[in-house]
Amino acid sequence: MKEWTGKLGEKDYVVRLLEKDSVEAILLLQDLVLRTLINNDFLSPVTKEEYEDFVSKSLMVGVFVEDKLIAFRALAIPEIDEHHLGYDIGLKTAQLGQVVYQEITNVHPDYRGFGLQKKLGAIVMELLDASPYTHVCATVAPFNIASLKDKLSQGMVIGALKNKYADMLRYVFYKKLHEEREAGSEELEILMGDTEKQQQLLAEGWIGTGILQKENEWYVTYEEKGSYM
């Protein structure tokens, strides 16, 4: 089994693929993370059955310190239905079978600040680079700054902003695998709280490519799509 190793301060860690015997530990970590969240809208809990599907049908990676699970990240092969994120970014039905989702990421509160979300993201993208999938998609709540930075650091871009998961507002991120994106010729900075303006730009074919903070306000950087899709 492939493993990745490193250090978190003075402690050694190992990252490896998770299997069905890790599901109980996954659920315990998720419960702990949920209890420490300031805004519960940022995280949509995953059921035991869904985690069992992730480890058996797709892929999950976990971080262990002294054999204790302290972080994980999941990929999922989504069901093809009317809610598929591929539709939100303009894909055709025939393309949806080549889309994989970046699903939930959890990090134990005691191990935040070490960049584990970013490390797991890099490992997941490394695995996807060797896969037959053409697109990876994910959703993030506005103002979930850590997760927004995480997706952008992986080269993902915003392709939509709409209600998902029982009417919760979400950015729909995507990246076309095995291909580099060309930068657009024009750039705009839009307040993250200005949902209507962002949705207008996205409908016109712009994509979100970054975030920045100015005078205590968060902005999203939008570019013309260029050749990416």
pLDDT band at 137 (very low <50, low <70, confident <90, very high): very high
How much is the pLDDT for 39? 62
Mean pLDDT value of segment 126-133 = 87
pLDDT for position 61: 95
- At residue 34 the predicted structure's pLDDT band, cuts being 50, 70 and 90, is confident
Give the pair of three-digit tokens for residue 66: 């002294």
Checking if the pLDDT of 228 tops 60, the result is no
**E strand spans, 9-148:** 11-17, 59-65, 68-76, 99-107, 135-140
What pLDDT sits at residue 167? 85
Residue 67 burial class via C-beta count within 10 angstroms: exposed 0-12, middle 13-18, buried 19 and up = exposed
Q: Which residues contact 47 (CB under 8 A, 6 or more apart)?
A: none
Q: Would you place residue 104 in the very low, low, confident or very high pLDDT band (cuts 50, 70, 90)?
A: confident
pTM of the model: 0.84
Higher pLDDT, 208 or 40: 208
Render pLDDT for 201-223 as a digit per residue (tens, 0 to 9): 999 999 999 999 999 999 999 99
Looking at residue 1, its pLDDT comes to 63
Higher pLDDT, 89 or 44: 89
Cα 56 to chain centroid, rounded: 20
Give me the amino acid identity at 133: Y
Domains along the chain with CATH numbers: 3-179 (3.40.630.30), 182-229 (no CATH)
More confident residue, 117 or 208: 208
- Tell me what the mean pLDDT of segment 90-95 comes to: 95
**Alpha carbon 130 to its chain's center:** 18
Q: Mean of the per-residue pLDDT values for the chain? A: 90
Please give the pLDDT value at position 204.
Answer: 94
pLDDT of 40 above 80: no
Average pLDDT over residues 148-154: 92
Instruction: Give the whole-angstrom CA distance, residue 190 versus residue 110.
Output: 34
Q: What is the percent of the chain where pLDDT is above 70? A: 95
| Residue 109, φ and ψ in degrees, nearest 5 | -55, -35
pLDDT of 229 > 70? The answer is no
Q: How confident is the model at residue 45 (pLDDT cuts 50, 70, 90)?
A: confident
Residue 225 has pLDDT above 80, yes or no: no
Q: Are 184 and 226 in contact (CB under 8 A)?
A: yes
According to the model, what pLDDT value does residue 38 have? Answer: 64
